Amino acid sequence: MEIPYVVTARPETGIFNAKAGIWLFLASEVMLFGALFTTYILLRIGAPTWPHGELDVALATVNTAVLITSSITMVMAWASCLTKDFKKFRLYLGLTILLGATFMVIKYFEYSHHFHIGDIPSKNTFYAIYFTLTGLHGLHVLGGMIVNSYFWGPGSKMWKSEPVRFTNRIEVAGLYWHFVDLVWIFLFPTLYLL
């Protein structure tokens, strides 16, 4: 007896299993980052002064653009699966991975600059929450890159045997990637601008 609705959608819910799974996972992620944003608000309300202008807004803006672009290429990768164009899929997913890597490299330069001038997590609660939030987000980007690389490389074998299921997987990976992007879109103004 096979597990049903791995590939096709269950009529009542209209989705296949993995899609239900990823939405639930994202709901839990919302709670995770929600708790951290709440922490940020609480710490800031309680603080007599809050540092401003210590982070590099220009770099972060570039990074925002990079992530948004990567979300677009991720959608294109999925769309290429739907139009059964495997070559294009590879191209777009590859671009998504590279853009993710670009984000991480820029983040690395930001981090090393801060460490260099002594802006470490223990300096004050601002840096504490800054490093915690961006660090955790960075781990999520890294996780997404690993998953995407798997689907770009060894995992793409499934395209030959079960193209529909593979397309589903890309859709699910995409949902996760958009979420990671979305978190950054909240992080950017919260940490860099406000």
Residues of the shown chain interacting with other proteins in the complex, contacts defined by CB under 8 A = 1-5, 10, 13, 16-18, 20-21, 24-25, 27-29, 31-36, 39, 42-43, 46-47, 120-125, 128-129, 131-132, 136
- Nearer to other proteins (CB atom), residue 121 or residue 163: 121
- Nearer to other proteins (CB atom), residue 31 or residue 82: 31
At 138, the amino acid letter reads: G
* Residue 17 Cβ vs other proteins, minimum distance, rounded to whole Å: 5
* Residue 5 Cβ vs other proteins, minimum distance, rounded to whole Å: 5
* Residue 189 Cβ vs other proteins, minimum distance, rounded to whole Å: 20
128-136, long-range: CB within 8 Å, 24+ apart, which pairs?
128/43, 129/36, 129/39, 129/40, 129/43, 130/55, 130/191, 132/36, 133/33, 133/36, 133/37, 133/40, 133/187, 133/191, 134/107, 134/187, 134/191, 136/32, 136/33, 136/36
- Nearer to other proteins (CB atom), residue 92 or residue 126: 126
Which parts of 83-124 fold into alpha helices (H)? Answer: 86-116
- Nearer to other proteins (CB atom), residue 131 or residue 179: 131
* Residue 191 Cβ vs other proteins, minimum distance, rounded to whole Å: 15
User: In terms of C-beta density within 10 A (0-12 exposed, 13-18 middle, 19 or more buried), how is residue 63 classed?
Assistant: buried
User: In terms of C-beta density within 10 A (0-12 exposed, 13-18 middle, 19 or more buried), how is residue 2 classed?
Assistant: exposed
* Residue 96 Cβ vs other proteins, minimum distance, rounded to whole Å: 24
At 193, the amino acid letter reads: L
- Nearer to other proteins (CB atom), residue 66 or residue 119: 119
